[in-house]
């Protein structure tokens, strides 16, 4: 249902700079918000969506790739490869045209919980490793532009100054959420 889509916080919203708190209660409410985050991500056509981006200041993110999808609750990076790759990266909280080449570890091992609190571990690589690191950054209040090399950062700042960030599309076609708007999960 369209009404199940969550508005996405856009650059400038202070919630994107806050550190998300751990999830301590696993139940239907968490499962429901994860379902809505998945729906929002699939509708908007992105690779990952973190709690902060939908007004939920909890350590959760959802992800999807060409052939799989999933969610991570309370994720921890256990290990990253020394091997670094440069690739194109964007963010759902920025306009689609706002993409930059960014260095990330090729592989990452992550420990997390599922929606029922069961502990899991996953080794991901390539685009998915990039997504996981990008989303875990969000949970720590870090944005992908924080990793930009000086010349790209100057280009990003120029775009921001020119107001290029004004029209960030929402998956539900509605307006951006009011800054600081919160979704409550116990």
13-45: b (≥16 Cβ within 10 Å) or e: bebbeeebeebeebeeebeebbebbbbbbeebe
Q: Is 156 in the site for Zn ion (CB under 5 A)?
A: no
- Least distance from Zn ion to the Cβ atom of residue 48, Å: 7
DSSP-derived 3-state class of residue 96: coil
- Least distance from Zn ion to the Cβ atom of residue 134, Å: 5
DSSP-derived 3-state class of residue 16: helix
Please say which residue, 91 or 108, places its beta carbon nearer to Zn ion.
Answer: 91
User: In this structure, is the dihedral angle defined by the CA atoms of residues 139, 143, 144 and 147, taken in order, positive or negative?
Assistant: negative
Please say which residue, 112 or 144, places its beta carbon nearer to Zn ion.
Answer: 144
Q: Is 145 in the site for Zn ion (CB under 5 A)?
A: no
Q: Is 20 in the site for Zn ion (CB under 5 A)?
A: no
Q: Is 91 in the site for Zn ion (CB under 5 A)?
A: yes
Of 29, 121, 135, 181, the catalytic one is: 135
Using CB positions, name the residue nearest to Zn ion.
91
Q: Is 128 in the site for Zn ion (CB under 5 A)?
A: no
- Least distance from Zn ion to the Cβ atom of residue 5, Å: 17
Please say which residue, 54 or 91, places its beta carbon nearer to Zn ion.
Answer: 91
Q: How far, in Å, CA of 85 to CA of 91, rounded?
A: 18
135 included as an active-site residue? yes
Q: Is 108 in the site for Zn ion (CB under 5 A)?
A: no
In sequence order, the β-bridge partners of residue 112 are 120
The Cα-based distances of 48 to 53, 146, 167, 171, 186 in angstroms read 10, 18, 20, 14, 23
Please say which residue, 5 or 102, places its beta carbon nearer to Zn ion.
Answer: 102
DSSP-derived 3-state class of residue 61: strand
Residue tagged 């790209």 (tokens): 152
Residue tagged 């809505």 (tokens): 36
- Least distance from Zn ion to the Cβ atom of residue 85, Å: 18
Binding site for Zn ion (CB under 5 A): 91
State the catalytic residues: 135
């Amino acid at each position: 249902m369209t009404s199940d889509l969550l508005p996405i916080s856009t650059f400038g919203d202070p919630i994107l700079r806050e550190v998300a708190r751990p999830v301590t209660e696993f139940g239907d409410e968490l499962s429901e918000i994860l379902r809505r985050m998945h729906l929002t991500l699939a509708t908007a056509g992105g690779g990952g969506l973190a709690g902060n981006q939908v007004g939920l200041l909890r350590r959760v993110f959802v992800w999807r790739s060409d052939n799989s999808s999933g969610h991570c609750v309370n994720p921890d990076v256990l290990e990253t490869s020394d091997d670094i790759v440069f690739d194109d990266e964007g963010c759902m909280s920025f306009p689609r045209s706002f993409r930059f080449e960014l260095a990330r570890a090729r592989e990452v091992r992550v420990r997390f919980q599922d929606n029922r609190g069961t502990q899991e571990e996953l080794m991901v690589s390539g685009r998915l490793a990039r997504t996981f690191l990008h989303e875990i950054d969000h949970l720590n209040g870090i944005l992908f532009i924080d990793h930009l090399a000086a010349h790209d950062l100057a280009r990003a700042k120029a775009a921001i100054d020119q107001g290029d960030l004004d029209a960030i599309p929402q998956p539900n076609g509605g307006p951006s959420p009011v800054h600081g708007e919160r979704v409550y999960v116990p």
